A and B are shown apart, each in its own frame.
Chain A
Amino acid sequence: MIVVNYVAAGCVFCIGLFAVVARRDVIKIVMGLSLMEASTYLLLVSMAYRRGATAPLLSNPPSGQTQRDVVHGTVSDPVLQNFCLTAIVIGIAVTAVFLTLAVRVAQHYRSVDAADATALRG
């Protein structure tokens, strides 16, 4: 029933998206973006899961198995686990930049309401 994880990841993504498009508070917008990022972690790790699989580790094969058995047997997908690590680092970088912008907006406009940040309005 890994599809439950997929649907949960989609729900978390939609909650984050709703915060981004429907909230005016820049801190909540950044929180929404973080939720959207977190949903991708859940999706990637869930997609890497295989029923009855072992971890993609060749150092200590399960009892009764050799390293070769692990290589050709049922293991979790290591490529998607790697994607998850990549997504986490990029998520941290993006969140740091957005939080810095949010603090600067708050300092400049004395407000975290995106509707007050109108300096670039044409």
Chain B
Amino acid sequence: MTNDDGLSRGFRQEPHVQAGWHRPWLGGPLVLAVGALILVGVLALPRENAALPVIARHAMEIAVPVWGQAEVVSEIVYGSRGFDTFGETFLLLGAVAVVLTLSRPREPRSEYVGEASEGRAEQRRLDPDEPESGDERKARQAESGEESETRRIRMSVVVRVAVRTAVPLLAVASVYTAAWGYTPGGGFPAGAAAAGVVLLVYAALGHRAVRHVVRSAVVEPIELAGATVIVALGVAGIVIHGSMFANVLPLAQPLTILAGGNAQLYSGAELVEVATGLIIAIFSLLGMGRDWTIHDDDSQQVPAPQDEDQ
């Protein structure tokens, strides 16, 4: 049995199956009471034949004349409620910063997933004459998406060809969604689709296919550039019109690519923010799995490094 076999088996022990209930006799009645309150509340909500609220009607009326947007939801996201979108974006940025901090690996790493590759670079630098061991080779094969002990099932040729075909279409669709702004939310769904493109490539073709893009030195500056554009739009609104996120760009003809003034630039920056934020969060989580080795709590079996304090 190899170490990798042990690692796989360790993951399959599913430790959470032992975690049981916490005072269900107390939680059950509490939830029923909350449910009764919710029922009373939802029965008093406006129904499908209620008049549209004044604020919604106002948004419909100003969408084209004030913001040059024929897509009213996008007008609200990047126009009327631009400040709220700003807060939401920086909440996402804050969450990404928290995920990065919590998932920080023990060793300095230029990629979110890829400690084995980092180890090879460090070994080449410190001790270039030492040959690569069998375990190290398996770890790197698994990391790069090649078949190995820890990744027994390689994606079939059907999946790989399908992904290679779909990825360009999805990438173009995501940019189109944000650029033309006819989709509710514009940059939000477009950013999620762009992150999905990277994840599809990673899942089908392995780490090696995305390692030149999904690394701290590339993704994090792009995310901060998107955030800078959003801040600059807000500040420009204050300086020019005395209102944060007031439109400062000329309004082009509705239904053209430059329609919406600020909104299109804001939407593009949101695409960048959402895409990079999701990529960082997901790959940070994937990289955390690599830190969990079966030997960590078994120090008696693993001799301490001789030069630990040197």
Task: Give the B-binding residues of A (Cβ under 8 A).
Answer: 2-3, 6-7, 9-11, 13-14, 17-18, 21-28, 43, 47, 49-51, 56-59, 67, 70-72, 74-75, 77-82, 85-86, 88-90, 92-94, 96-97, 99-101, 103-104, 106-107, 110-115
Listed residue (A28, A67, A100) with the most chain B CB atoms within 10 angstroms of its CB: A100
In the complex, besides A3-B42, A10-B42, A97-B98, 13 extra interface pairs with C-beta distance below 8 angstroms are A22-B24, A23-B22, A26-B19, A57-B182, A58-B60, A78-B75, A78-B184, A80-B56, A88-B188, A89-B188, A89-B274, A96-B285, A100-B98
Question: For residues 50 through 96 of chain B, which have their beta carbon under 8 Å from a beta carbon of chain A?
Answer: 50, 52-53, 55-57, 59-61, 63-64, 70-73, 75-77, 81, 84-85, 88-89, 91-92, 94-96
Q: Is the CB of B39 within 8 A of A75?
A: no
Using A22-B28, A86-B85 as known contacts, say yes or no to A112 and B15 having CB atoms under 8 A apart: yes
With A67-B64, A78-B59 as contacts: A103 and B288 at CB distance below 8 Å: yes
Contacts A6-B42, A24-B22, A78-B73 given; indicate if A96 touches B49 (C-beta within 8 A): no
Cβ-defined contact, A24 with B21, below 8 A = yes
**Could you tell me the distance in whole angstroms from the C-beta of A78 to the nearest C-beta in chain B?**
4
User: In the complex the two chains form, is A59's CB within 8 Å of B39's CB?
Assistant: no
Q: How large is the interface on B (under 10, 10 to 19, 20 to 34, 35 or more residues)?
A: 35 or more
B52 touches A75 (CB 8 A): yes
Residue of A nearest to B259 (CB): A59
Residues of B within 8 A of A10 (CB): 35, 38-39, 42
Main secondary structure of the interface of A (DSSP, over half): helix
Q: Which residues of B contact A96 (CB under 8 A)?
A: 95-96, 99, 281-282, 285
B79 to chain A, nearest CB (A): 10
**Which chain B residues border A110 with CB–CB below 8 Å?**
15, 297
Asked if A85 meets B95 with Cβ closer than 8 Å, knowing A18-B31, A114-B19, the reply is: no
Question: For residue A106, which residues in chain B have a CB less than 8 angstroms away from its CB?
Answer: 15, 292
Rounded to whole angstroms, the CA-CA distance of A86 and B88 in the bound complex is 7
26 residue pairs from A and B, CB less than 8 Å apart: A2-B47, A3-B45, A14-B31, A14-B38, A21-B22, A22-B22, A22-B31, A25-B19, A26-B16, A28-B19, A43-B42, A56-B60, A56-B72, A58-B63, A58-B72, A72-B57, A77-B53, A78-B184, A79-B56, A88-B188, A89-B91, A93-B94, A100-B99, A100-B102, A104-B288, A107-B296
